Amino acid sequence: MDGRYSHPSFVARLASAHVVAPRRVVRSDNLPPMTDSPAVAISGISKVFESSSGRVDALRDIELHVTQGEFVSLIGPSGCGKSTLLRLIGDLLEPSAGRIEVNGTTAHQARLNRDYGMVFQQATLFEWRSVIENVELPLEVMGRDKAERTETAMAMLDLVQLTEFAELYPYQLSGGMQQRVAIARALSFEPSILLMDEPFGALDEMTRERMQAEVLRIWAKTGKTVVFVTHSIPEAVFLSTRVVVMSPRPGRIAGIVDIDLDQPRTDDTREATRFYEKMTEVREALRGVQAG
């Protein structure tokens, strides 16, 4: 708990969130398997989109290993295939070539094992469900009982500070609030891997920093693996253990920057000299990509 959380009600809510849902921490069914297999192993992945209007070489020869508990960010110019890569990992797309292994099995099996919590660029809320019903949906699909669903969903809404809005419908929320509901929903069933596609793009700067701290806190506490797409260099550097810089047409990995800043990251991290050095490193890698 650092200085940013001086708002008393927020501290109280966070505390209560932990009291309300102890099961989330104890439950082990969705924790990563105790093996040395990487969380995500991508080898030789290419993706070509064929359509009537032509071929798009979205990704070519992607090699990437994400170890258990890592926080990896993907950064690169618009259209370089970040979302596509994330969707391939999540088994929402089939690669044109190459293999993806997740937690020692196929991406497909990992999806059926409910290993993925996904947050998309758009909030994609179900407009016929209230906020809390949206957060409960994955738990409903997974057959959890009503009491547990409500309890967990309320704790998750607490986390994103939307408890007061639980009974509203998505159209009654701002874009940023909808995105926070989507984040709460992705966390609700304790997936071992979080795939987040520019989840904070619609948020104002203060909320954004608070959500970043939230994600880091959850990440540190639960040992989840996170693959995170962003357009923001400071965001990538602040959150990640590694930043993957991608180049466009076809999308390739142009460079990987290790972010060996101290954990846990706090507000002080953002002001450290090393933070700026790392930002410069990422920026230069990106500049090389865009010039080429």
Provide the binding-site residues for Mg ion, judged by CB under 5 A. 83
Measured from the CB atom, the residue of 35 and 78 that comes closer to ligand ATP is: 78
Residue from 14, 37, 48, 114 touching another protein (CB under 8 A): that is 114
Q: Which of the listed partners (Mg ion, ligand ATP, another protein, none) does 171 bind, with a CB threshold of 5 to 8 Å by partner kind?
A: another protein
Binders of another protein in range 214-273 (CB under 8 A): none
Q: Which of the listed partners (another protein, Mg ion, ligand ATP, none) does 80 bind, with a CB threshold of 5 to 8 Å by partner kind?
A: ligand ATP
Is residue 77 reached through a cis peptide bond, with omega within 30 degrees of 0 on the bond before it? no
Least distance to another protein, CB of residue 176, Å: 5
Give the pair of three-digit tokens for residue 201: 């793009």
* Residue 80 engages ligand ATP in binding (rule: CB under 6 A): yes
Task: Please identify the residue of the shown chain whose CB is closest to the bound Mg ion.
Answer: 83
* Residue 137 engages another protein in binding (rule: CB under 8 A): yes
Residues that bind another protein (CB under 8 A): 7, 87, 90-92, 111-114, 116-118, 120, 122, 124, 126-129, 137-138, 140-142, 160-162, 164-165, 167-169, 171-172, 174, 176-177, 180, 189, 203-204, 206-207, 210
Residue ranges in contact with ligand ATP by CB under 6 A: 49, 51, 56, 58, 78-84
